[in-house]
Amino acid sequence: MTPAVLRYYLYKATRAVELYRPVMYLYFLSVGLSFTQLAFLEAAYNVTTVLAEVPTGYVGDRIGRRLSLVVGTGVIAATLAGIAFATTFPALLSLYVLWSVGYAFRSGSEDAWLYDSLTGEGEFAEVRGRGESVALAVGVGGAVVGGWLAGIGLTYPFLVAAVVTAVGAAVLLTVEEPADAPEFDPLTPRRAADAIRDALSDPRLRSFVPYYYVLFSAVTYLVFIFLQPRIEAVVATGPAAELVTLTGGVEPLLGWYYAGISLVGAALTGRAGWLREHVGVRTWFVAIPLVVAALLVGQWAIPLVALPAFLLVRGLSEATSVFAASYVNDRLVSVGRATTLSAMAMVSGLTVVPFQLAGGSLSDQFSPGVALAAAGVVLAAGSLAILAWRAPVPAETGAGTEAGDAPTQP
């Protein structure tokens, strides 16, 4: 193992220490934000991510991939520190926009930097895979530690994460970037629009895009937002209250819970090949949205169902994203593949905004449990409507292939 690769693993470890993740929404609610304001923060983040893609790509093209990662990581560290001291909605909104810009600087740079600067063609997959393993292990431990820190004070996970993230920026500065590294190829709005139009004109993707990138992705994103207050409400009274006693508080409980989410997601994505072979992509995409919808309605009808339901929903959504990327990739030629996938991510990032705002409004009027149940109903109704119109995934004739499939031609 070269010193440069070792530094890459260290950087991946610092990036995975998201100590604030299990309690961030509880913190925002604790400083007086409403659910609508909380949803607005997430909506602003998504819109900024799309808008910042081009200018940050342009800047990255000028300064190089490694420095782009350094800038993005430094911005994220400063934002996390700022959030720990922010107590008003305008302040948090400004920081959220800055947070999104930081991640935009890192978007697309990490893998390219690793390939061009640290490894070659034969080593990339191995180093990248080990890096993900490191990130997973650190992330699971970080969730537990973050919950423990939040039990002492809700600001502590943000402050410690800011320090660790800053260490990651310092690590990046110690790795040299080759002078002949290729330039960025940033996604422009025109290219994104062309890629989306081409995808929707392909009969094999026409219904898949709204089915997964719009409907399923938007609904499962709501679980990410409203999981924490929903779990807090469920464990406040009743049999689940014993869990709070066992773990020493709601915050430590959420730390362990998020560690469990990471492990379930890793288990399902790690078995993606087995699931593809034994379940089939078509069956998966027909069944999973309906299963997720049933779980979201069930957590409202029977509150205790929320504990296993959210574990499954988050894990299933991770595995579904793997199948979605594979399905779209299999139907694209190499030229333009990255552009199309980035464009699909932009579609998902923008279309989730109305769902976020509606979910925040319903949570303020009723509760997060009601908002998530309503999202489940929308997911079930929308999925059935799209299935009645056109199957998102054509009938399979073999392992992972459909009748008449061939790569999309330019």
pLDDT digits (tens, 9 = 90+) for 389-399: 988 887 753 43
DSSP per residue, 353-386? HHHHHHHHHHHHHT-HHHHHHHHHHHHHHHHHHH
Domains and CATH numbers, the chain: 1-179 (1.20.1250.20), 187-401 (1.20.1250.20)
Least confident residue range of 163-167, 187-191, 364-368: 187-191
The answer to whether the CB of 37 falls within 8 A of the CB of 360 is yes
Alpha-carbon span 143 to 262, nearest angstrom:
9
Cβ neighbours around 295 below 10 Å, total? 21
Angle at 188 between CA 203 and CA 121, to 5 degrees: 80
Any idea which residue has 């464009």 for tokens? 343
- Within 10 angstroms of residue 381's Cβ, the number of other Cβ atoms is 12
Q: Say what the pLDDT of residue 410 is.
A: 31
How large is the greatest C-alpha to C-alpha distance in the chain, in angstroms? Answer: 63
**pTM: predicted TM-score of the whole model, two decimal places:** 0.85
Instruction: Note the pLDDT of residue 55.
Output: 73
DSSP label at residue 88: S
Residues 6 or more apart whose Cβ sits within 8 Å of residue 66: 113, 117, 172, 175, 176, 177
pLDDT-derived band of residue 174, with 50, 70 and 90 as boundaries? confident
- Three-state secondary structure call for residue 268: helix
Q: Which residue has the tokens 């700022």?
A: 82
Q: How confident is the model at residue 370 (pLDDT cuts 50, 70, 90)?
A: very high
Helix runs in 153-240, H state only: 156-173, 189-201, 208, 217-234
- Residues 168-188 have a mean pLDDT of 69
Q: What is the pLDDT of residue 178?
A: 57
Identify the pLDDT of residue 109: 65
